[in-house]
Each structure stands twice: as C-alpha cells, then as structure tokens.
Structure 1
Amino acid sequence: MTNKSNHSQKTSPIKVLYAIFEADPFIKTGGLGDVGGSLPAALCKTGVQVRVILPKLASIPQEFKSRMITITQFEVPLGWRRQYCGIQMLREKGVTYYFVDNEYYFKRSGPYGYEDDGERTAFFCKSVLECLQHLPDFFPDILHCNDWHTALIPVFLREQYMEAPKYTRLRTVFSVHNLKFQGIFPKSMLADVLGLAHSRSASDQLAFEGSINYLQGALYYSDRLTTVSPTYAKEIRTAYYGEHMEEIFRRRSSVLTGILNGIDQSKYSPAKDRCLYERYRPSSFQQGKAANKRALQEELGLKRDESIPLLVIISRLTEQKGLDLVLGILDELLCERVQLAVLGVGDAKYEDAFRGYQARMPQKVRACMTFDAPMSSKFYAAADILLMPSKFEPCGLSQMAAMRYGTIPIVRETGGLADSVIAYNQYEDTGDGFSFANYNAHELLFTIKSALDLYTNRRASWDALAVRAMKKNFSWKASAEKYAALYRDLIHL
C-alpha cells in the first residue's frame, strides 16, 4: 500500500499555471507573445500539466472570444475595492487557456500604455491567486510568472494568501524577458491599490527610489528566477545590464537560471510559409533565395539584381537595437555594392533617418515604417544578411527566424544573440553567422565587410554557411525540457 502511494506521488504530473499578459494567437505585441503562445504547448509534451492565464483584452479576435466558456465568477479584493472577475476557458492546440474577464480594466485596444496600468496589472495578479479557489478541477503546484505585469503574484501570495488552504505549498517561478521594463509606480499605491502598507517586508522590498517597483518585488519574493538566455542571466548581474537590479541578481544567483527561448519552427519555415513569393528548402536554397530577392526588389522599387547583397533590419526601431551604430556607418556602408531594406516602427528619430536615406538613395535604400508579419516573412526569405547589432538583447527572435530562411545574422555578442549565433570561422569554415564584441560602429562595419567579402568572393562557403543556419534547431523542445527540470527541482525541495 505504501509503495503504491509513493509511486503514485512520483508519477503524478507537475501542475503549472503559467501567468502572462500576452500569448499568440490571442494577443501579441512582441517576443513575449511568441513565448506565451509556444512554450506552454512544448511544456505539455514533457509531461508537465500546464495551463495558461492571461487577461481577456478587447483586441483578442472574435473567433476566439466566441469559443470561450465562463467557468466561474467572483469578486477580487484590491485595496479598498471589490471588483468583478470572470474566468473564461478555451482549449487551443491542446493547451487550456484561462482568460480574466473584467471590462473596466481590460476592454482596451492594447495590453499596455494606460495611466492605470499599475492598478490593472495588480488586479490581474490578484485575480490569478483568487481564481485558484474557484477553478473546478485544477490547483497548480507552481505559478510561473512572466515580466513585470505578473510580478505581484509572488508578492501577494506570500503576503496575503499563506493562511489559505493549499496555498502554503505553492511555489513560484519568475521569468525576466526584458529587464528594461519594471513597473514603477507612486508609493501611494502600496496602500491604496495593493493593500500592503501594513507589511514592513513588502514596504521594504518594493521600495525603489521613492516609488514602488513591481518587478523588484518579484525578484525578492519568487522561489526561482529565470531569464531568456544564459548570457543574459550573467549580464544582468553587472551594472551595465542590470538596470539597478544587479545587486539582487548577484545575491540570488543560486536561484537564477538562463534558458534560451526557442521559436515555432513550423511557423518560421521557408518550406511552409505561404507569405513567400516562392517557397524553398535547404536543398533548393540558392534558387529560392534568388527568386524571393528579385520579387522583393521589384515590390520595394529597388534595383532588380539578385547578385547585389541585400541587407535588412526587421525590428522595433529603438536605441536597444543598436540603430545608432547602423546610422553611424551607413554613409560608408552604402558606398559598397549593397542594398538596405528596413521594416519596423519605433522612435521618430530612427524612422526619419531611414526615410531620409531612402529619399537620397531610392535605388539602394527602402524604409518600410510599419509592422507587417507577412512582409517580415518576405524580408527574411529575400535577404542575404540581417543586421542586429543590439546594445542589449535578452534573447532575440529575429536572428533565429532569419537563420531558418538562410539569411545570415550579423549580431553583437550580447544576451541571446551570443547564445544563438556561432561566429563564422574562416580557417575551419564553420559557424552560422557573424558577430562582434564591443558596442562600436566600426566593429560593426568591419564585420559587415567581412561578411560581404565572403558573399562576393567565396560563394560556396557562403552558401554552406546559409544551409547550416537553415538546419539549426531552434525548437522549443530543449528549452521546455530545461524548464521541466527546474520545476521538478523546485517541487522536490
């Protein structure tokens, strides 16, 4: 009897509630949405029982809203407020999703950027904990929280739910996707919204330069911390990358793990992508790349010549992405026999700069200042080189996607870029991209010229490099297995 009971305990799946503010295909503004839409399904394949919870935002397509079923309703205490909360459920691609329904907080066109974001995210965090008392068939072993929007979940759990049945055994994992964004709000919210002014520990551990910092709270209160690449996990312990959190990461380094994100390889596949002018595989790489390049050149109004190296930037146009380096060397770069196409939106100074180059050199430069997923597929398939010289990059998606299409990334050796791109070695003819170490414009220019030399003068080596990149495995399988191992270690503490 005892042996059977022990065996049953060992083989019962770990249950994880995965809290995130966006998940593709429901809502996506960037890489966080890709993770929310891909990692839970990969985790389920490892034997972990994962369910996802996110806000029911107005911008979720109606095709999904029409399939949601309300499974419970209750009130959420938030400071002096008591707010309605409905939990709706939907199964999609084998994963159970819960949606937190409250039109006052979530009937918005986008997920963020509102004056009451501090209150909205606090409500979401409290709702996640409250709903556990009402879900009919699921109580997790682990709450896995993602970025500052969910950072109060570990705080509320320890401060307000430890006397509730079953909550004492809950463990928490907090993943940092981008440390730049932390959720910093007025100190008055500690009492008015969070209801934590009476707690000395909460007051101390959320306090940040006269305000309160949601993410900082999660760093103190969570059982395990993760980031989205091993190199970024090391970098954030330094002042340059740590965004004022480096001391906490150093102090808690024993519970900090870096796990590189994956991508949905069926989505980023030149053999399956219906947005391409012509689909191709590694075996038909040269013909497919040439056909897509000619078609994109024609569509963009660039000189139609498949022999001209086509460089692309597919990115949010922000300082983080190293665009100051690109603009610093662009006049010299455009003296070479190259074309440059830019796809993205962002800061006005970068948009205006690239538009200016297009106006001056319309045969060489095209600035597509928009976010367009089908067009990004065309860019990946047509380009020879992706420029991604980021100042910092927790993980990065574009370099992985580009490689799947045989487009060679030129990256700075930081964060996930350092972990996902192996620099070309001309002596051994190995590697799958190009990289440089220092945040320096002329290091970038030198690296680009090295890549152009290989493309122009040693084409067989270039083609072999591209095929290696296409065959590289960026699936979520390896990442999911590492998270599953982390969960097992945490449960068996």
Structure 2
Amino acid sequence: MKLLFATSEAVPLVKTGGLADVAGSLPKALSELGAEVRIILPKYGAIPESYVGQFETIATFTVRVGWRSQYCGLLRAEIDGIVYYLIDNEFYFMRGGLYGYGDDAERFVFFSAAVVESLFHMDYQPDIAHCHDWQTGLIPFLLRTRYAHDPVCHNIATVYTIHNLKYQGVFGKELLKDLLNSGDELFGSEGIEFYGAGSCMKGGLVYSDKLTTVSPSYANEIQTEYYGEKLDGLLRSRAHDLIGIVNGIDTDSFDPMSDAALEVPYRDSLPRKRKNKLALQREMGLAESETTPLIGIVSRMVDQKGFDLVEAVLDSIVAADVQLAIVGSGDWQYEEMFRRAAERQPDKVSAWFGFNDALARRVYAGSDMYLMPSQFEPCGLSQLIALRYRSVPIVRETGGLRDTVTPYNEFTGTGNGFTFTNYNAHDMLFTIERAIAFYNNEDVWKQIVANGAKDDCSWKRSAKSYMSLYAELLSSRKENNPWPVI
C-alpha cells in the first residue's frame, strides 16, 4: 500500500498548528503497520536550514497557473525514516510565514497543481493521495477532472481529511476561474461554487473517494446546521463516505520520562511531577506551592477556544484557591485580559504571549489541571498531551473533547477528567470548582490521574482505523470501475 500525504505543513519541518502534528506523526504509525508513506508540502522559508540542507532536487518543471507558466522544483529527502518531498517556488513560499497573505489563493492553487504534476516526475506511484484541509482540497478535483484521462493519475484513489471545517479557502469566482484557467463549468452543481464564491475545501469534499475528520463526534456535528459552516447538506449527502477517527500524538516526542524541556523526568509519580510544578511556578513568577492547584492553558486565544467564557468569570476563577499558567497568543482582547489579571495578581496568574514549545511542555508537566472550554473542537491534541503528562483535563463536551475526556464519577471512581455540556461560563466555573474540590482529596486525585494514565494517546489505534479505510477503498476500487471521468 503506497500513500502520498499532501499537506501544507508537517513536523518536524514546519508547524503552525495541530495539522502539522498529524501530518508528520500519522505516517510513522502507518509505516509501522506496513504501509509505505511519503509526504509532500511546500518549501517554505520557515523550514530550518538543518532540514533544507538534506534535500536534493530530483526534477524541475513548469506548472500552469491561469495564463502563467510558473517554475517548480521537486526536492526529496528521507528524515526520521519517512521520505519527504518539497515543492519549490521562492515567489510563493520563501516568506516569513505560511498563511495569511493576499495571494494565498494563487499560492495554494499552484501548490495543488504542482503536487499533481509531481506525480509525473517523482520516483513513486501512490495508490492513494491523502489530502488535508483547504490548502490541498483542489488536488482531488484536479485528479478527477483535468487529469482523469491520464494513466499516471487515473487509478489514484483519494482520501480527504477535514481538520477544521471553519477554514475553507473561500475566494472569488473570477479569481479562481483565472487561476484554474477554467470557465463557468467550475461552478456548476458538481463544482466548487459556494454562495457566490468558490471553496477550495469543497473540491475535496465533492471529489474525494472517502472523507475523514478527526473525531467521531465532530463527524456527526458537522452534518448539523450549527456546526456545518454551510456545508452540512453536502456532508449529509456524503455521510456514507465520511468517518471520524480520533487523532493521536507522538508519544515518543511527548514523553515526560525523556522530555528535555522538563526539570524532572517522571511517569506516574505525583511527587516527581510536582517538582516540575514548583519549577514552573518559579519560572513564571507564581507563588511556589505544591498544594495550590495550578491550571494550565496552551492555546490560540480566539473565540473558538472558549476564551469568551473565561473572560466572563475570570475574576471568580482567580478568587478561588488556584493559579493560572497561560502560554499562547491570539486576539488582543484576550491577551489583554490575561495581561491585566497578571498585573493585578502576579502570584496567581502568569501569561507568556507567543509560541514557545519548551515552555508549553513545562506547562503540561507542571499543571495539575488543563483547561480547554472550546466552543467547538474537531479533535484537540492539547487534552491528549495533558493526559500524557498526567494533567487532568477540564473540557467542554464537544467534538474530540467529548470522545477523549470522560467525566469523573465519584460513585464509580471512573473518569479521566471533568466536563461540562452547555457553552456557558458559569457551567465552566462550576466544573472548575468541582475539580478543585476533588484535587484537595489526595486519594481521589491520585485515582483520577491513574485513570488518565490508562488511556492510549498514541497513533496505534487510529492508524489501524486508517489502514482499514485505505484497504476498504482499494478493495472497492478493484471490484468496481474507477470513478467516472467528469
């Protein structure tokens, strides 16, 4: 089984969010199960030279973008046992960041077309192209339309994964018609039309053989109007091809026994974990105390992550016998909220604004509880990392949070965290207060932490589900004709 992962980011090369963790870690787990997996992504200026220097150019060719023929280089290297390809065009990708530019439509139309053209130049013929998020949504569209007659492309099956339905790559009709050198047929009933514009993600949703998303609950949620981002009707029509598979984490990288960022290695020892808590309190200027419960937050500070709930009751949270350690960045109002709280009570609230992987790991290791009150959460990796570092999650029951965090039941002794159902600030506050009450009972808290330690947060189970999906897809394509040419 030969797989090609097409993604806009992947660890260890470059990362802005959870997509990179999935795209870099899942192929390793699939390889251990016998698949041959290779990864293709843009050659960004943000990729460290230590990695770029390992690549060699294996082909150069041109890619058609509208009326323009653009240079494309195809580079190859093997890193940590996985073959990576880079799509090289300095005009599009040699920039300080990955996204957020005025020409993102052109950049990722180019990338999608370049990935397909690369199939004619690489030393690899995949059985399945597995595409991720809107930046690669046009690859299944191109394979099934423009390249459908070509023998190199005709038998490649496609899987498309939705990591976050909210970000769809929506651009103007005329712009996409120009970039794809297409006419109005691009926006017909079988096209990528989206409320007067065009959606790159819709290309993947309509034309891929199978659709996945990153948790079973989110797969169900996005078929409803509330979570469906105006695509719920299309997703309901493809419900038989849609499956939710919970993400895992790289448990070799996220291992408190070997994590170089931590003060003290540990596994299931709460006394050793609390040495990391004291170290974190010193580092972040909080009052040093083993007994005061410490709540950690590592997150983008945006509405999706539930920070409007935190804003509504922050004073009440801080008034409790608790500390907050925050790492992240985002909307100014939420950064300012934590900045003001830290100024008022520096012994109880400390925030570091920006991305700091080592400090984030120390927050996971040093916190007793981990707060994640998301409005919606396709899967969430932070709660899995928290469980791995024996920090007890406090989450809202949505998407992957519902699938991975089980509320503690004081009557049965089961459960690995604390949850609340309604998107309501006082429900969240009550849940935090409930967690604090149980934290003050050492025997109960040890049981909750031990329950979480039993969870398998690795990719093993999820990789098996993906392998079953791939096998089913290839089997059905052998039994039936490949999809019709459109």
TM-score, length of structure 1 as denominator length? 0.95
- Alignment deviations for residues 426-451 of structure 1 (CA, whole Å, 9 cap, x no partner): 10111111111110111111111111
User: Per-residue deviation at 1:289?
Assistant: 2.0
1:298 maps to 2:285: no
User: Per-residue deviation at 1:205?
Assistant: 2.3
CA distance in 1, matches of 2:221, 2:355: 30
Of 47, 63, 69, the match for 2:50: 63
3-state SS of 2:409 partner: coil
Structure 1 residue aligned with 2:230:
244
- Alignment deviations for residues 97-142 of structure 1 (CA, whole Å, 9 cap, x no partner): 111111111111111111110011001100111111112x311111
Structure 2 residue aligned with 1:470:
453
Structure 1 residue aligned with 2:383:
399
Structure 1 residue aligned with 2:351:
367
Structure 2 residue aligned with 1:23:
10
3-state SS of 2:85 partner: strand
CA distance in 2, matches of 1:416, 1:33: 17
- Alignment deviations for residues 167-225 of structure 1 (CA, whole Å, 9 cap, x no partner): 22111110000111000111112321012215356575211122111111211111110
The count of corresponding residues between Structure 1 and Structure 2 is 476
1:256 maps to 2:249: no
CA distance in 1, matches of 2:8, 2:38: 14
Structure 2 residue aligned with 1:420:
404
8 Å contact from structure 1 (residues 155, 202) kept in 2: no
Structure 1 counterpart of 2:218, one-letter code: Y
CA distance in 2, matches of 1:331, 1:85: 54
CA distance in 1, matches of 2:155, 2:254: 40
Structural mapping, 1:312-461, within 5 Å: 312-456=296-440, 458-461=441-444
- Alignment deviations for residues 231-261 of structure 1 (CA, whole Å, 9 cap, x no partner): 1000000111111111111110000000000
Structure 2 residue aligned with 1:280:
266
Structure 2 residue aligned with 1:164:
150
Of 113, 127, 132, the match for 1:146: 132
Deviates more, 1:112-121 or 1:285-294: 285-294
Structure 1 counterpart of 2:40, one-letter code: I
Structure 1 counterpart of 2:471, one-letter code: R
TM-score, length of structure 2 as denominator length? 0.96
1:42 maps to 2:26: no
3-state SS of 2:300 partner: coil
8 Å contact from structure 1 (residues 403, 469) kept in 2: yes
Structure 1 residue aligned with 2:479:
none
Structure 2 residue aligned with 1:99:
86
CA distance in 2, matches of 1:361, 1:34: 35
User: Per-residue deviation at 1:162?
Assistant: 1.1
1:491 maps to 2:466: no
Structure 1 residue aligned with 2:482:
none
User: Per-residue deviation at 1:166?
Assistant: 3.2
CA distance in 1, matches of 2:454, 2:50: 35
CA distance in 2, matches of 1:467, 1:217: 45
CA distance in 2, matches of 1:428, 1:336: 27
8 Å contact from structure 1 (residues 190, 197) kept in 2: no
CA distance in 2, matches of 1:173, 1:330: 42
CA distance in 1, matches of 2:333, 2:388: 31
Structure 1 counterpart of 2:352, one-letter code: C
8 Å contact from structure 1 (residues 404, 471) kept in 2: no
CA distance in 2, matches of 1:402, 1:442: 23
3-state SS of 2:46 partner: coil
In 2 relative to 1, CA 209–198 (structure 1 residues): closer, same or farther, beyond 3 Å? Answer: closer
8 Å contact from structure 1 (residues 294, 304) kept in 2: yes
Of 96, 103, 113, the match for 1:109: 96
User: Per-residue deviation at 1:47?
Assistant: 1.4
8 Å contact from structure 2 (residues 187, 193) kept in 1: no
Structure 2 counterpart of 1:187, one-letter code: K
- Alignment deviations for residues 139-166 of structure 1 (CA, whole Å, 9 cap, x no partner): 1111110000000001111120012123
Structure 2 counterpart of 1:209, one-letter code: Y
- Alignment deviations for residues 51-100 of structure 1 (CA, whole Å, 9 cap, x no partner): 11101111111111111011111111222111111110010111111111
In 2 relative to 1, CA 212–455 (structure 1 residues): closer, same or farther, beyond 3 Å? Answer: same
5+ residue gaps, structure 1: 1-13
User: Per-residue deviation at 1:470?
Assistant: 2.9
3-state SS of 1:145 partner: strand
Deviates more, 1:24-33 or 1:208-217: 208-217
CA distance in 2, matches of 1:155, 1:239: 25
Of 155, 175, 181, the match for 1:195: 181
- Alignment deviations for residues 407-466 of structure 1 (CA, whole Å, 9 cap, x no partner): 10000011111111111111011111111111011111111111111111x211101211
8 Å contact from structure 1 (residues 395, 416) kept in 2: yes
Structure 2 counterpart of 1:24, one-letter code: V
Of 86, 89, 92, the match for 2:73: 86
3-state SS of 1:410 partner: strand
Of 164, 172, 176, the match for 1:186: 172
CA distance in 1, matches of 2:19, 2:454: 25
CA distance in 2, matches of 1:179, 1:252: 15
CA distance in 1, matches of 2:470, 2:190: 29
User: Per-residue deviation at 1:382?
Assistant: 0.9
In 2 relative to 1, CA 362–198 (structure 1 residues): closer, same or farther, beyond 3 Å? Answer: closer
CA distance in 2, matches of 1:377, 1:349: 25
Structure 2 counterpart of 1:56, one-letter code: K
In 2 relative to 1, CA 202–110 (structure 1 residues): closer, same or farther, beyond 3 Å? Answer: farther
5+ residue gaps, structure 2: 477-486
CA distance in 2, matches of 1:334, 1:371: 24
CA distance in 1, matches of 2:330, 2:176: 33
CA distance in 1, matches of 2:474, 2:423: 41
Structure 2 counterpart of 1:349, one-letter code: Q
3-state SS of 1:359 partner: helix
3-state SS of 1:73 partner: strand
Structure 1 counterpart of 2:445, one-letter code: W
